[in-house]
Amino acid sequence: MATREEIYLAALLHDIGKFWQRADENGLKNSRIIASDFKHYESEFCPTNEKGLSHKHVMWTAYFIEKYKAEFISLLKTIDNSDIYGNFMHLAAKHHHATTIAERIIQKADHYSAGLDRTLENGWKDAEEEDDNNWDAFKRIQLRPIFAGIGNINDEVNFQFKAPISSLELSDSFIEYKDTEFTYRQLWELFEKEFKFIQTSNFKAFTESLLSLLHKYTVRIPASTKSYPDVSLYDHLKTTAAFAISLYDYINETGRNQFPTFEEKPFMLIGGDLSGIQKFIYTIAARGAAKNLKGRSFYLQLLIENIVQKIIDELNLFSANIIYQSGGGFFIIAPNTDTVKNKIRKNIDEIEEKLFKYHKTDLYIAIEFVEFGEEKILNGNIGFIWNELREKLKRKKNQRFKHTIVKHFNKFFEPDNNFEPDSKRDYITGEILDNSIPTKQLDEDNADSIVNAYTFQQIELGKKLKDADFWI
């Protein structure tokens, strides 16, 4: 079977052809982008239905792999240099016409990612058909805001707002929804220009950079122009990659070399919820409050991102597996294997231990997971997974420090022999200073202005953030 790296990268690029196809001024038959001799492989990659060959966007995906063949060979170091139709190209472009197990992993991941637009019978419906006389009709469909469809899943949705085709920008105009002149060609040229600058042989660095580029250039492109054009191509590519790598790891660890059954649960949704945020941010002295508020708030953001990165690194996953991280919470899609379960439990203990060391009972993060599979995804029951996870997180927050209490019983229930009425306290937060944690003096002229090292760092963060425009 294909390598793990090939699976992940192929999933991340499987629908890049939708982007390039929309940038093409002609359909496949008259395309000046795709070489004439390459068009003969149409039947190799495209499935057939009653109208003939369909899903022709995969031809642009395949040709993208062909165009940058040298770069992908150098990166993956597994593709036969003489075989331009080798494993990787087939993995990326045959997800609608899969024959091998590896190709079917991408196909299944694509189905799971599309979810609502898929059927149980054949995994897809309402395909974007390329009619020779009206081949570019799908170009005129713009991305709609997802909130417009809430409560109207089974009804005809009247989308009044449309997202203009553009790259991701830090501007007020970016959030305006309106009709616009389509610029797929210009957008593709900008994407391709930046893609060429990802010059690294490090797979993780390459794929992380690629994911950022896909975010920048495909976040305003609809993944599907049929039924529900309210999911971006970026989100579809990202979740397809997350499902693909998780499915690969599950099949690989079980060693069965076959796909999970409909009722089986090859995936897990990991969730985290940080509590104590309000108390942590606002329990500060008045002196230097503005800088400390800003610094402490940003510290929590960094804390969540570092916890998520620790979990991703430990599970050997990628940024595409992170579904969400913000506001003191996160969600990650991972393979439901014994290895992952053992690692995540170990991580939970380590993270709780470290948080308790620095913040005692002020901050607590509940981390839980639920298992799920095809039955929940394709039967329209995905909401039950989120509800189950939320309930587990809620129960855990009601039993906070359960494991920490067992390990540090004396710190919770026995007198602190080190406590004295005149014990030194953090000048900003009022916390009793812990001898095991370094301290800093804020004011040379004030001997009492002693703070914990991490309080000092938060104040320094606040100072720097005041003058910063971007965080890189």
pLDDT digits 0-9 by tens, 356-378? 888 888 899 999 999 999 999 98
Q: Which domains does the chain have, with CATH numbers?
A: 4-254 (no CATH), 260-472 (3.30.70)
Q: Are 77 and 53 in contact (CB under 8 A)?
A: no
Q: Residue with structure tokens 């100072």?
A: 463
Q: Are 229 and 199 in contact (CB under 8 A)?
A: no
Average pLDDT, the chain: 85
pLDDT tens-digit map of 66-82: 999 989 988 887 554 54
pLDDT tens-digit map of 326-360: 889 999 999 999 999 999 999 999 999 899 888 88
pLDDT above 90 (res 271): yes
Q: Which stretch of 225-239, 292-306, 416-430, 442-456 has the lowest confidence by average pLDDT?
A: 416-430
In this prediction, residue 120 has a pLDDT band, given cuts at 50, 70 and 90, of very low
Q: Are 270 and 334 in contact (CB under 8 A)?
A: yes
pLDDT at position 121 is 42
Residue 243: CB atoms within 10 A of its CB come to 26
Residue 192: CB atoms within 10 A of its CB come to 17
pLDDT at position 320 is 98
Q: If you average pLDDT over residues 18-30, what whole number do you get?
A: 92
Closest listed residue to residue 397, CA positions, set 357, 369, 367, 371: 367
Q: Are 334 and 268 in contact (CB under 8 A)?
A: yes
How far is the C-alpha of 469 from the C-alpha of 347, rounded, in Å?
34
Q: Which of 120-129, 262-271, 454-463 has the highest mean pLDDT?
A: 262-271
DSSP assignment, residue 149?
G
Residue 316: CB atoms within 10 A of its CB come to 14
Q: Are 252 and 335 in contact (CB under 8 A)?
A: no
Closest listed residue to residue 352, CA positions, set 340, 331, 374, 367: 367
Closest listed residue to residue 385, CA positions, set 8, 117, 112: 112
Q: Are 141 and 237 in contact (CB under 8 A)?
A: no
In this prediction, residue 256 has a pLDDT band, given cuts at 50, 70 and 90, of confident
pLDDT above 50 (res 143): yes
In this prediction, residue 380 has a pLDDT band, given cuts at 50, 70 and 90, of confident
pLDDT above 80 (res 51): no
Q: Which stretch of 59-63, 252-256, 272-276, 407-411 has the lowest confidence by average pLDDT?
A: 407-411
Q: Are 144 and 229 in contact (CB under 8 A)?
A: yes
Give the H/E segment covering residue 331.
strand 329-335
pLDDT at position 81 is 52
pLDDT at position 79 is 52
Closest listed residue to residue 467, CA positions, set 281, 302, 294: 294
- How far from the centroid of its chain's Cα atoms is residue 213's Cα? 13
How far is the C-alpha of 218 from the C-alpha of 234, rounded, in Å?
5
More confident residue, 433 or 36: 36
pLDDT at position 131 is 52
pLDDT at position 257 is 76
More confident residue, 202 or 160: 202
pLDDT at position 119 is 43
pLDDT above 70 (res 179): no
pLDDT above 70 (res 419): no
How far is the C-alpha of 344 from the C-alpha of 177, rounded, in Å?
41
pLDDT at position 244 is 97
Closest listed residue to residue 360, CA positions, set 423, 429, 282: 429
pLDDT above 90 (res 450): no
Q: Residue with structure tokens 């290895």?
A: 339
DSSP assignment, residue 450?
E
Strands 450-452 and 329-335 turn out to be unpaired
Q: Is 333 exposed, middle or buried (0-12, 13-18, 19+ CB in 10 A)?
A: buried
Amino acid letter at 108? K
pLDDT at position 122 is 38
DSSP reduced 3-state for 182: coil
Percent of the chain with pLDDT over 70: 87
pLDDT at position 206 is 96
pLDDT tens-digit map of 79-112: 545 454 468 999 999 999 899 999 999 999 999 9
How far is the C-alpha of 89 from the C-alpha of 76, rounded, in Å?
12
Q: Which stretch of 30-44, 55-69, 90-104, 423-437 has the lowest confidence by average pLDDT?
A: 423-437
Q: Which stretch of 212-226, 245-259, 367-381, 445-459 has the lowest confidence by average pLDDT?
A: 445-459
In this prediction, residue 123 has a pLDDT band, given cuts at 50, 70 and 90, of very low
pLDDT at position 469 is 84
More confident residue, 225 or 300: 300
pLDDT above 70 (res 276): yes
Strands 364-372 and 267-275 turn out to be antiparallel
pLDDT at position 127 is 43
pLDDT above 80 (res 137): no
How far is the C-alpha of 77 from the C-alpha of 90, rounded, in Å?
16
Give 78-131 as a 3 state SS string: CCCCCCCCCHHHHHHHCCCCCCCHHHHHHHHHHHHHHHHHCCCCCCCCCCCCCC
Closest listed residue to residue 145, CA positions, set 118, 178, 117: 178
The phi and psi torsions of 329 (rounded to 5 degrees) equal: -145, 165
pLDDT at position 313 is 96
Contacts of 414 (CB under 8 A, 6+ apart): none
The phi and psi torsions of 304 (rounded to 5 degrees) equal: -60, -45
The phi and psi torsions of 325 (rounded to 5 degrees) equal: -155, 110
Q: Are 11 and 211 in contact (CB under 8 A)?
A: no
